[in-house]
């Protein structure tokens, strides 16, 4: 596995490669969720590039940028063992300069759900993803369905800015007890982790209600909120795959999303029905 930190060196390295390239952008602290993105990228492409870059512009003031888990050596090992061909490991000054051009997320879709409590977060995400995609110029790029709003906005950006990369959604990976894998799970104490299971329980309840024929969004949201109580709830939403609000669940076209705070940790999860 080749490790490169300079964007120009990476561009040069990839310039004459005629293979299909799968790209997995990450912020490090890799877990099974990231490994499943890498696996998918390996299945579908002849070459795989992973980036590890803790992107400062997607953190708001006072958020967890400083304490975000860092596991550089373990991450390199995971990439190597997963058969990654190139690991892109830039520093902040390799990616950002001063007085920069940036991408603005859409005024509505970028400022609802997670974007409502983290205004501007998605500008940072879209800007760094655009930069990374321009450096790697991959055939396909892989994003987890757990961050469904991020995936939706990145897909929109690729479509609306006529980019040629294919954005590939990858299923969420869960612990045996249902907790969706996230680098931020590392912040949870034992008791908080138990509390966090309410998130996947609420989603399981929603899917059980739909299986029994309950499709009224209001009724499902209310039942989910009961399961989540007394956690601080940012949102419980039932949307179509384009992220428009649904009154009734439409099988094959629905995402049910939850974001809560467990102690000081924001956690999000969703299911696609
Ligand atoms: O999902 C993440 O890890 C990040 O938001 C991403 C897509 C790597 C951009 O920094």
Predicted local confidence at residue 227, as pLDDT: 98
Pocket test for ligand 1, best of 129, 149, 151 (most atoms within 8 A of CB): 129
Q: Kindly provide the residue ranges of all beta strands, DSSP E only, lying in 147-198, ordered along the sequence.
A: 166-170
Name which residue sits closest to atom 1 of ligand 1, judged by CA: 26
- Return the DSSP state at 187: G
Percent helix / strand / coil, the chain, rounded to 5: 40, 20, 35
Q: From the centroid of its chain, how far is CA 33?
A: 10
Domain annotation for the chain: domains and CATH numbers: 2-170 (3.40.50.620), 183-267 (3.30.1300.10)
pLDDT of 102 reads 96
pLDDT of residue 76: 98
Q: How confident is the model at residue 205 (pLDDT cuts 50, 70, 90)?
A: very high
Note if 31 is an active site residue. no
What are 55-59's contacts with CB under 8 Å, separation 24+?
Answer: 55/27, 55/95, 55/124, 55/125, 55/128, 56/92, 56/96, 56/124, 57/96, 57/102, 57/123, 57/124, 57/127, 57/128, 58/121, 58/122, 58/124, 58/125, 58/128, 59/121, 59/124
Ligand 1 pocket test, pick from 128, 130, 149, 180 with the greatest ligand atom count within 8 Å of Cβ, gives: 128
pLDDT of residue 140: 98
CB atoms within 10 A of CB 81: 11
Rounded to two decimals, the pTM is 0.97
* Cβ proximity of 265 and 189 under 8 Å: no
- Give yes or no for residue 128 CB within 6 A of ligand 1: yes
- The set of residues, in sequence order, having a beta carbon less than 8 Å from that of 161 and lying 6+ positions away, is 130
| d(C-alpha 122, C-alpha 154), whole Å | 9
Q: What is the mean pLDDT of the chain?
A: 97
pLDDT score, position 272: 98
Contacts of 239 (CB under 8 A, 6+ apart): 245, 246, 254, 255, 256, 257
Q: Which residues pair with 166 in a beta bridge?
A: 140
To the nearest 10°, the Cα dihedral for 134, 71, 151, 266?
-140
Closest ligand 1 atom, residue 144 Cα: 1
CA of 105 to the centre of ligand 1 (A): 15
Check: CB of residue 49 under 8 Å from CB of residue 22.
Answer: yes
Residue nearest to atom 2 of ligand 1 (CA): 26
- Predicted confidence (pLDDT) per residue in 81-111, tens digit: 999 999 999 999 999 999 999 999 999 999 9
Q: Is 183 in the pocket of ligand 1 (CB under 6 A)?
A: no
* Tens-place pLDDT, residues 23-77: 999 999 999 999 999 999 999 999 999 999 999 999 999 999 999 999 999 999 9
Peptide bond into 230 cis (omega under 30): yes
């Amino acid at each position: 596995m080749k490790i490169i930190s300079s964007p120009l060196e990476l561009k040069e390295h990839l310039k004459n490669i005629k293979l299909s390239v799968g790209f997995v952008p990450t912020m490090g602290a890799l877990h099974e969720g990231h490994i499943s993105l890498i696996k998918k990228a390996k299945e579908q492409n002849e070459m795989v590039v992973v980036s590890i870059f803790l992107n400062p512009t997607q953190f708001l003031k006072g958020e967890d940028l400083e304490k975000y888990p860092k596991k550089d050596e373990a991450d390199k090992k995971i990439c190597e063992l997963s058969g990654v061909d190139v690991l892109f490991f830039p520093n902040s000054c390799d990616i950002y300069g001063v007085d920069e051009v940036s991408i603005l997320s859409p005024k509505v879709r970028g400022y609802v759900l997670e974007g409502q409590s983290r205004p501007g977060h998605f500008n940072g995400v879209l800007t760094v993803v655009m930069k990374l995609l321009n450096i790697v110029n991959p055939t396909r790029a892989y994003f987890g369905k757990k961050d469904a709003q991020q995936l939706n906005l990145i897909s929109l950006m690729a479509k609306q800015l006529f980019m040629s990369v294919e954005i590939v959604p990858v299923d969420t990976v869960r612990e045996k007890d249902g907790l969706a894998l996230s680098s931020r799970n590392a912040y949870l104490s034992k008791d908080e982790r138990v509390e966090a299971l309410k998130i996947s329980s609420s989603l399981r309840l929603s899917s059980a209600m739909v299986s029994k024929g309950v499709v009224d969004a209001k009724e499902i949201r209310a039942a989910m909120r009961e399961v989540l109580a007394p956690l601080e709830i940012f949102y419980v939403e039932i949307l179509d795959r384009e992220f428009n609000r649904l009154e009734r669940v439409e099988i094959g076209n629905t995402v049910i999303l939850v974001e809560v705070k467990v102690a000081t940790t924001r956690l999000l999860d969703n299911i696609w029905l």
